[in-house]
């Protein structure tokens, strides 16, 4: 995917910071922040404020309006900061909007952020340090906390230490997503372009698909501290279309595995036409849905109903549910600040 303008660096304003040694290259590295916007007028102001509050100041903020019918694009255009530009277009979906932003990106690093999510001030700075410290790392995510629709911080967080020896292969096969991709990830722009960007035929799971291809290019790291907040909606696309999401996840895994093993990959149409769930898959999907709903209830402090759903998930798929619980707990216990998805 070709960019418009290539890599470009601008002079960083001088700041007097006592006791902090700043890497000049890191400080002047331009980061293109791609924000797809579709009818999120309620949240875009706070989202952009969190980006402009980053301690890393060299930003190229691209808001891609995906055919919104509300005033979100106008709010973005009204912010008096020359680092923000708004690109308006017809509604084509989040993957197409991110690809449009990727084509417009000027920075040597690209970062993705959904318009209803937030970053904490040190987010980019900490991730860039990881990306710069090891040239074998091509992308960096982070732990994210959860927010309710009205902005209240909820219990729980998302992010996984993926340093175990088989992590890279699991990433390459589409079996692992160690952090909230679309609002957490930063990566070398050229690497994302070389990987082909987002597959626009895969709604909901385009992030998982891109992760499989990035993992072929190098290591994936996770900063194991909360660096942002992910807004949880009970009526999100993944919640409303859970069965479709699970089907597409299996397609991504099958295609990625075929690619890794040098076999011809199935096309989406033939996969969908022949798709049939086994009994074990139905039980796992049911357990996954119950566990997800239990997590939402826990975040809302509705513990009794959450316990009932978690118990139902345990009955349906004990090993799956226990593994998911362990993953959630490991975020709080991980002593290391950075976890690599490949060794």
Tokens found for residue 292: 């997800």
Kindly give the residue spans of alpha helices, DSSP state H, lying in the chain. 24-27, 41-52, 72-77, 94-104, 123-133, 167-172, 181-184, 189-194, 206-217, 237-240, 242-260, 268-273, 279-299, 303-316, 318-333
So what's the pLDDT on residue 117? 94
Distance of alpha carbon 97 from alpha carbon 283, whole angstroms: 35
So what's the pLDDT on residue 103? 98
So what's the pLDDT on residue 165? 66
Mean pLDDT in order along the chain per 10 residues (343 residues): 38 34 73 97 96 98 98 97 97 97 98 96 97 93 81 64 78 93 96 98 94 95 93 60 87 96 93 87 75 68 79 75 63 46 45
- Go through the chain and tell me how many residues it has: 343
So what's the pLDDT on residue 236? 53
Tokens found for residue 204: 């909901």
335: left (phi > 0), else alpha (psi -120 to 50), else beta?
alpha
Residue 25: other Cβ atoms inside 10 A: 10
Distance of alpha carbon 249 from alpha carbon 60, whole angstroms: 32
- The alpha carbon of residue 273 and the mean position of all alpha carbons in its chain are separated, in whole angstroms, by 29
Q: Is 219 helix (H, G, I), strand (E, B) or coil?
A: strand
pLDDT in tens, 195-240: 999 999 998 899 999 999 999 999 999 999 999 998 876 555 555 5
Distance of alpha carbon 297 from alpha carbon 324, whole angstroms: 16
State the burial class of residue 111 (Cβ atoms within 10 Å of its Cβ: 0-12, 13-18, 19+): buried
So what's the pLDDT on residue 23? 67
**Which secondary-structure segment (H or E) carries 32?**
strand 31-37
So what's the pLDDT on residue 16? 31
Residue 272: other Cβ atoms inside 10 A: 13
Tokens found for residue 227: 């660096």
The single residue listed with the structure tokens 């891109």 is 210
So what's the pLDDT on residue 11? 34
């Amino acid at each position: 995917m070709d960019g418009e303008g290539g890599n470009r660096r601008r002079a960083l304003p001088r700041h007097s910071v006592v006791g902090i040694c700043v890497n000049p290259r890191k400080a002047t590295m331009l980061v293109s922040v791609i924000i797809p916007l579709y009818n999120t007028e309620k949240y875009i102001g706070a989202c952009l404020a969190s980006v402009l509050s980053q301690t890393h100041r060299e930003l190229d903020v691209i808001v891609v309006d995906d055919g919104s019918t509300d005033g979100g694009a106008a709010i973005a255009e009204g912010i008096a900061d020359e680092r923000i530009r708004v690109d308006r277009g017809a509604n084509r979906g989040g993957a197409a909007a991110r690809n449009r932003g990727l084509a417009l990106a000027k920075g040597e690093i690209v970062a993705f952020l959904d318009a209803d999510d937030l970053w904490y001030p040190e987010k980019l700075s900490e991730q860039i340090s990881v990306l710069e410290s090891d040239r074998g790392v091509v992308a960096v995510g982070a732990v994210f906390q959860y927010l309710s629709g009205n902005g209240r911080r909820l219990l729980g967080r998302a992010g996984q230490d993926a340093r175990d020896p088989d992590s890279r292969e699991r990433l390459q096969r589409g079996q692992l997503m160690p952090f909230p991709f679309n609002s957490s990830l930063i990566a070398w722009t050229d690497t994302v372009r070389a990987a082909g960007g987002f597959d626009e035929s895969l709604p909901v799971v385009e992030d998982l698909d891109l992760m499989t291809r990035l993992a072929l290019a190098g290591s994936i790291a996770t900063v194991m501290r909360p660096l942002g907040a992910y807004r949880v909606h009970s009526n999100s696309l993944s919640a409303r279309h859970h069965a479709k999401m699970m089907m597409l996840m299996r397609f991504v895994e099958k295609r990625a595995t075929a690619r890794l093993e040098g076999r011809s990959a199935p096309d989406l149409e033939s996969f969908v036409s022949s798709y049939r769930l086994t009994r074990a898959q139905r039980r796992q999907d049911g357990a996954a849905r119950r566990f997800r709903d239990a997590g939402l209830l826990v975040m809302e402090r509705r513990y009794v109903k959450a316990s009932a759903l978690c118990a139902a998930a345990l009955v349906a798929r004990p090993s799956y549910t226990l593994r998911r619980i362990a993953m959630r707990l490991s975020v709080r216990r991980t002593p290391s600040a950075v976890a690599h998805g490949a060794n």
